[in-house]
Copies of this chain bind each other. A is one copy, B any other.
Amino acid sequence: MKKEEKKDVGITVDKDEFSEWFTQLMLKADLADYTEVSGCMVFKPNAYVLWEKVISECDKKFKKLGVKNAYFPLFIPEKFLNKEKEHVKGFSPEVAWVTHAGDTKLTEKLAVRPTSETIMYPSYSKWIRSWRDLPLKINQWNNVVRWEFSHPVPFFRTREFLWNELHTVLASEKEALEEGKDILNAYKEFCEESMALYGLAGKKTEREKFAGGVASTKLHYIIPNGRVIEGPCFHYDGQNFAKAYDIKFLDKEGKEQYGYQNTYAISTRMLGTMFAIHSDEKGLILPPNMASNKIVIIPILFDDTKEKVLNESEKILKEIQEFDAFIDSRDNYKAGFKFNEWELKGIPIRIEIGPKDIEKKEVVIARRDTNEKKTIKISEIKKEVKKLLEDIQKNMFAKSKTLFESKIEKASSLEEIKKIIENKKVGIIPLCKDEKCEEILKSETGGAKAVFIAENLKVKTEKCVICKKKADYFVYCGKTY
């Protein structure tokens, strides 16, 4: 079936059939499209404008924390990539290699950046001389490539994706860890306040931490199919990279020290997370704080009252234009078709206005998140939509929190956690630090892993669900993308 024809009929499956539902949502809400480059997709304007929102909102927060944007080369010489042993082990199986320019074979092959530590840090090493050059906080919004061989999922796992990568150097561990809290909190605020997404920060186990780092903390979200999404991340690298890339500074006492480093990122997978958590069978639902158009005005057009209704629509538009409202005055589509279309595309508020409404000095207002409709006085429209947009934003966040909590169950045995995973949920289990237990857990559960350590739960006498020895911590266990 051609796309245009399909689009007209809306999403044809329940959200429970998550994979098919998500694919239809992506295609029919015009968010993305497949390409012939395996695992790479087009971010269409409807999705890209949301990514621009991620950039602008996060940048505002970063700037307050002293971060500056820059741009480093896409290509990394092989010898640079190889300097930090754990790092190269983690990334090299997925690296896309440039070997030729035109017909000429390059003398050294070049990695397409999977992440930019190894190209940025040689520059950092040159630029940093003394404590006066610290902290150094440089961020890039760019594209990276990780040629994963597992099944690609649009937005969640694509071989090329967009992200920010913020790499900082500080004079002490204390400063580094404080900065970590601040930046992770900036991400959390953005995801909560703009994306209306409830998530949980958690530290990774040794097995799951960033290749080459000391410790990793990420924000975690759970989408309706029970998958845990690893969102914005903070990697504390200690002096590991500083030693490998010779990032040294003279401290206030004139002594040479290695810098302490952090790395942070938020990627386009958060768009997928937002789409997956909020949307429904009618299509996309966008939180007002993310939507570029928050309100669509749909005039109900009849030949004899058309002008009057359009005039009144224009007046209303002026009144509420600060909410990026627009009028859909196309006369080749019926109102019902337009309702469906803008529901599919996720506009938070729809205002319907017909000749009878005008007589009563009223309009009908429909909210996308609950699909509720009500009639309001035109004279109060600005106040009403402002309040409604705030309500929608709050309600969407509350719903995402409820969803998250409904997906969590405690388990104390392998059998229990296996059932939880089968039921497309996430378990909390006691586990020991032995990486072998994590491996067994993964194979026994069909791929669920110890995603992060539960911070607020302390183990007492609990036993590891695998080896039955004393547990070291509780972990959230689930499948990820």
Contacts and interface: CB of A to CB of B under 8 A. Distances in A.
Contact of A74 (B48, B102, B123, B145): B145
A139 to B, nearest CB: 9
Given A68-B45, A123-B42, A35 B100 contact: no
A411 interface: no
A112 interface: yes
B35 A122 contact: yes
A443 interface: no
B145 A2 contact: no
Contacts of A92: 102
Interface string A89-111: 00011111111111100000110
B45 A69 contact: yes
Contact of A160 (B35, B40, B49, B73): B73
A396 interface: no
Contacts of A80: 36
A207 B166 CA distance: 44
List of 7 A-B pairs having minimum Cβ-Cβ separation, nearest first: A101-B147, A45-B68, A40-B73, A43-B71, A93-B102, A97-B100, A99-B99
A3 B42 contact: no
B75 A37 contact: yes
Nearest to A95: B102
Interface string A280-307: 0000000000000000000000000000
Contacts of A147: 101-102
Interface residues of A, number: 57
A4 B160 CA distance: 37
B75 A40 contact: yes
Interface of A: 2-4, 33, 35-37, 40-45, 48-49, 51-52, 68-77, 80, 92-103, 109-110, 112, 119, 122-123, 126-127, 129, 138, 142-143, 145, 147, 149, 160, 162
A3 B133 CA distance: 13
A72 B42 contact: yes
18 contacts: A4-B129, A35-B73, A35-B119, A37-B73, A37-B110, A40-B73, A42-B123, A44-B70, A45-B69, A48-B68, A73-B160, A92-B102, A95-B101, A96-B98, A99-B99, A101-B149, A102-B147, A112-B112
Given A2-B129, A41-B73, 8 more contacts: A35-B73, A42-B123, A48-B71, A52-B69, A75-B145, A93-B103, A94-B102, A142-B143
